[in-house]
Amino acid sequence: MKKIEFYDNKNVISKRVRYFRKQRKLTQGQVAARLQTMNINIDQRGISKIENNRRIVTDYELACLCRALGVTELELLSDFYEAFPES
């Protein structure tokens, strides 16, 4: 099985997901419930794995996480863009 990682990361949004979730005073379960209304099958443990960088995030999950947290894709990806600025 191919290992999917980027510089030892399963995803590049883990810290920002946690930051925005806490800023909005949402539990992991509440974020999962919002995602489930968009037909994304992630439970509280899945959100925990994303925040702890132990689960990959697909493109459609990224888009739905943005909606669930009320942020833009750029805001969730800001740590990545800071670490890898354009040349």
CA 68 to chain centre: 10
Here the CATH number for the domain that contains residue 39 is 1.10.260.40
Residue 78 resides in a domain = yes
Residue 87: pLDDT band with limits 50, 70, 90: confident
Span 11-70, pLDDT tens digits: 999 999 999 999 999 999 999 999 999 999 999 999 999 999 999 999 999 999 999 999
Do 50 and 57 contact (CB within 8 A), yes or no? yes
Q: What is the pLDDT of residue 75?
A: 98
**Residue 74 is part of which domain span?**
27-83
A 10 A CB-CB count for 54 gives: 12
Count how many domains the chain has.
1
